[in-house]
């Protein structure tokens, strides 16, 4: 086995070991987290307590949580009445013994301390402590299942709850989290505690803390009715001018997203951006983390900022039920980047962005967009999830037409079945078919579910010739799917014929290995083009013909 494959296997096994699900977690629904954490930044350690209020769904005498064995030491666990509970902590699971079978709401308090093993790389998580030139900083990265590395929780995206997060830091630092800042207190050691609170349900993967010598830069987003919400940028000293320039289009981004997807989902709280060290750029609910290296003053981060802000609709408000369906978050936010440039610049810019997504080597996005594993990091966050996910939406737009496509997106984001809850790919398909008025299983089966391991798109050739008739010309267009031995796609595809009279556009459906389409043209055709605007994800092979002992393309 090559060393690269061995390392990949070991890494996959490590990631899978971090994610532990127990069927006993289905016995309850978390209502609220009340997290208090004290950061010891120089020691790269922390201590805390976490209160968890839950509704019991199935009577049980056992309460099961996720908690990392590598980073967390559980000191004690009590009920709300201070009744001490017995527990075992192994394999990243906390198995808590209740004094009796419980069938109603329950409050459990967990007291713990922890250390960090997080080096700040994208594919790991927990609390990242960073010190440089006398500056000490901390920030969290939870996706997909690293929240349990800094607080005990039910670390799955399908159980959303409200949260209170209190962070104690040295006096010179500021601590930032989700929702609104409800209180700031100072203790006898001169440490400060920043208390934040969410009113909206939040998944554990989106709970965030960040601490540093922040300088807050404030502005507000206003509506015509006089309502507004706060926008705050938490920037490191010396970055004020760069951040002001890089973040100057935030309100413009919100206006664009509201136009397509409905009102900003968390306007009763805030939108914020917190600079962080490490590779921690993440769409945490109401408080995007943006890594320090991206704040340049040159606007380089704008596509990323659009992406992370779009997640507040796709991923934060509507959270995938499981990590199999990450494309509902990442694919949609990636597609929003292309829409943003179409909205503010031009349709040609939109095509440029989408063509860039589709220009990769054949097979780069091979495999189902639906993840095979709920535990493999790179299965949930691979290129096919981001970019093929966006390409799927691009192609869907062409299949159903602009007016229906944008109505689908608006209906999906404003449907009370999904808002502030969870969704699956099947939920999105139902929304699509409801608005479109016809089944689209053929489309999603081939572009989302199909698990092709060697190709990620059809390989096509096309050829044409014409023959004059009494009413003009018949144009014979031959389309071959060279990859049909692996997978045969159904492709609604445009054919454009240019003649001296102008241009005629047809749409045909290629769904076999080889087909000949006979199209009409009033005058002699001069040029025939297949999918000129590149709405279909495909690889084109040049058709080589021999005519009169000459090569023709």
Q: Annotate 388-421 with three-state secondary structure.
A: HHHHHHHHHHHHHCHHHHHHHHHHHHHCCCCCCC
Closest CA to 250 of 194, 290, 198: 290
DSSP state of 457: S
**pLDDT value at residue 18:** 52
Q: pLDDT of 219-254, one tens digit each?
A: 999 998 889 999 999 999 999 999 999 999 999 999
Mean pLDDT of 97-107: 96
Highest mean pLDDT of the ranges 116-120, 149-153, 322-326, 378-382: 149-153
Distance of alpha carbon 19 from alpha carbon 214, whole angstroms: 33
Q: How many helices (H) and strands (E) does the chain have?
A: 12, 29
Q: pLDDT of 388-438, one tens digit each?
A: 999 999 999 999 999 999 999 999 999 999 999 999 999 999 999 999 999
Q: pLDDT of 314-363, one tens digit each?
A: 999 999 999 999 999 999 999 999 999 999 999 999 999 999 999 999 99
- The chain-wide mean pLDDT, for the chain, equals 93
Strands 60-66 and 545-547 come out as: unpaired
**pLDDT value at residue 132:** 86
**Sheet of 514-521, strands arranged across:** 514-521, 472-481, 459-469, 539-540
Helix axes 389-400, 347-358, angle to 10 degrees: 130
Distance of alpha carbon 177 from alpha carbon 464, whole angstroms: 61
Q: Do residues 413 and 318 touch, judged by C-beta distance below 8 A?
A: yes
Q: What is the DSSP string of 29-86?
A: EEEEEEEEEEEETTTTEEEEEEEEEEEESS-EEEEEEE--TTTEEEEEEEETT--B-E
Rounded to a whole number, what is the largest CA-CA distance in the chain? 98
DSSP state of 308: H
Strands 270-276 and 228-235 come out as: parallel
Q: pLDDT of 12-52, one tens digit each?
A: 444 444 567 899 999 999 999 999 999 999 999 999 999 99
Q: Do residues 127 and 147 touch, judged by C-beta distance below 8 A?
A: no
DSSP state of 542: P
Percentage of the chain beyond pLDDT 90 is 88
Q: Do residues 503 and 525 touch, judged by C-beta distance below 8 A?
A: no
Distance of alpha carbon 320 from alpha carbon 298, whole angstroms: 34
Rg of the chain (C-alpha set): 27
Secondary structure (3-state) at 164:
strand
The residues pairing with 87 across neighbouring beta strands, listed in sequence order, are 96
Confidence of residue 371 (pLDDT cuts 50, 70, 90): confident
The residues pairing with 270 across neighbouring beta strands, listed in sequence order, are 230
**pLDDT value at residue 212:** 97
Higher-confidence position of 515 and 7: 515
Distance of alpha carbon 486 from alpha carbon 514, whole angstroms: 14
**pLDDT value at residue 5:** 37
Higher-confidence position of 452 and 433: 433
Mean pLDDT of 280-286: 97
Q: pLDDT of 480-501, one tens digit each?
A: 999 999 999 999 999 999 999 9
**pLDDT value at residue 225:** 86
Distances (CA, A) of 121 to 75, 142, 278, 280, 468: 29, 12, 6, 7, 65
Distance of alpha carbon 423 from alpha carbon 322, whole angstroms: 9
Q: Who's near 197: CB < 8 A, 6+ residues apart? A: 162, 163, 164, 165, 179, 180, 182
Q: How many CB atoms lie within 10 A of CB 535?
A: 19
**Residue-wise over 85-101: b if at least 16 C-beta within 10 A, else e?**
bebebeebbbbbebeee
DSSP state of 238: T
Q: pLDDT of 142-201, one tens digit each?
A: 999 999 999 999 999 999 999 999 999 999 999 999 999 999 999 888 899 999 999 999
Q: Do residues 462 and 369 touch, judged by C-beta distance below 8 A?
A: no
**pLDDT value at residue 270:** 98
**pLDDT value at residue 67:** 98
**pLDDT value at residue 19:** 60
Q: How many CB atoms lie within 10 A of CB 390?
A: 25
Q: Is the pLDDT of residue 375 over 80?
A: no
Q: Supply φ then ψ for residue 95, to 5 degrees.
A: -105, 110
Distance of alpha carbon 83 from alpha carbon 403, whole angstroms: 59
Which two three-digit tokens encode residue 343?
């909205």
**pLDDT value at residue 378:** 62
Q: Is the pLDDT of residue 80 over 60?
A: yes
């Amino acid at each position: 086995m090559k060393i690269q494959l061995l390392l990949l296997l070991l890494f996959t096994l490590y990631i899978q070991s971090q994610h532990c699900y127990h069927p006993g977690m289905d016995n309850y629904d978390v209502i609220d987290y009340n997290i208090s954490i004290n950061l010891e930044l120089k020691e790269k350690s922390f201590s805390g307590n976490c209160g968890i209020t839950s509704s019991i769904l199935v009577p049980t005498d056992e309460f099961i949580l996720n908690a990392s064995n590598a980073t967390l030491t559980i000191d004690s666990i009590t009920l709300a009445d201070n009744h001490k509970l017995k527990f075992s902590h192994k394999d990243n699971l906390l198995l808590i013994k209740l004094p009796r079978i419980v069938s109603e709401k329950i409050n459990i308090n967990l007291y713990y301390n922890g250390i960090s093993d997080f080096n700040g790389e994208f594919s790991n998580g927990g609390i990242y402590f960073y010190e440089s030139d006398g500056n000490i900083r901390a920030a969290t990265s939870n996706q997909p299942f690293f929240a349990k590395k800094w607080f005990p929780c039910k670390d799955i995206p399908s159980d959303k709850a409200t949260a209170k997060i209190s962070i104690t830091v040295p006096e010179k630092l500021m601590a930032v989290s989700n929702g609104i800042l409800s209180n700031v207190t100072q203790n006898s050691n001169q440490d400060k505690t920043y208390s934040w609170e969410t009113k909206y349900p939040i998944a554990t993967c989106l709970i965030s803390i960040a601490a540093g010598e922040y300088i807050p830069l404030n502005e507000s987003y206003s509506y015509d009715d006089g309502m507004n919400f706060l926008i705050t940028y938490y920037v490191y000293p010396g970055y004020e001018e760069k951040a002001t320039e890089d973040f100057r289009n935030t309100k413009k981004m919100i206006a664009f997203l509201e136009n397509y997807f409905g009102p900003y989902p968390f306007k009763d709280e805030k939108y914020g951006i917190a600079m962080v060290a490490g590779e921690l750029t993440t769409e945490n609910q109401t408080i995007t983390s943006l890594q320090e290296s991206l704040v340049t003053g040159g606007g380089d981060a704008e596509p990323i900022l659009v992406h992370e802000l779009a997640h507040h609709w796709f991923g934060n408000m509507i959270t995938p039920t499981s990590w199999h369906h990450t494309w509902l978050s990442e694919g949609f936010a990636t597609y929003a980047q292309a829409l943003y440039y179409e909205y503010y610049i031009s349709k040609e810019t939109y095509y440029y962005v989408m063509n860039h997504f589709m220009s990769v080597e054949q097979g780069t996005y091979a495999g189902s967009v639906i993840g095979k594993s709920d535990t493999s990091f790179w299965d949930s966050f691979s290129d096919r999830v981001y970019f093929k996910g966006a390409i799927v939406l691009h192609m869907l737009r062409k299949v159903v037409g602009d007016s229906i496509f944008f109505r689908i997106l608006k209906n999906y984001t404003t449907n009370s079945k999904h808002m502030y809850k969870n969704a699956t790919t099947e939920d999105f398909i139902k929304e699509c078919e409801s608005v479109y008025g016809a089944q689209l299983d053929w489309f999603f089966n081939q572009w989302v579910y199909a698990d092709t391991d060697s190709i990620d798109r059809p390989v096509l050739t096309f050829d044409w010739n014409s023959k004059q008739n009494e009413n003009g010309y018949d144009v014979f267009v031959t389309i071959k799917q060279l990859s049909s031995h692996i997978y045969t796609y159904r492709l609604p595809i445009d054919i454009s014929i240019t003649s001296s009279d102008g241009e005629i556009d047809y749409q045909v459906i290629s769904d076999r290995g080889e087909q000949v389409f006979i199209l009409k043209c009033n005058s002699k055709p001069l040029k025939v083009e297949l999918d000129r605007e590149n709405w279909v994800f495909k690889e084109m092979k040049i058709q080589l013909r021999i005519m009169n002992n000459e090569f023709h393309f």
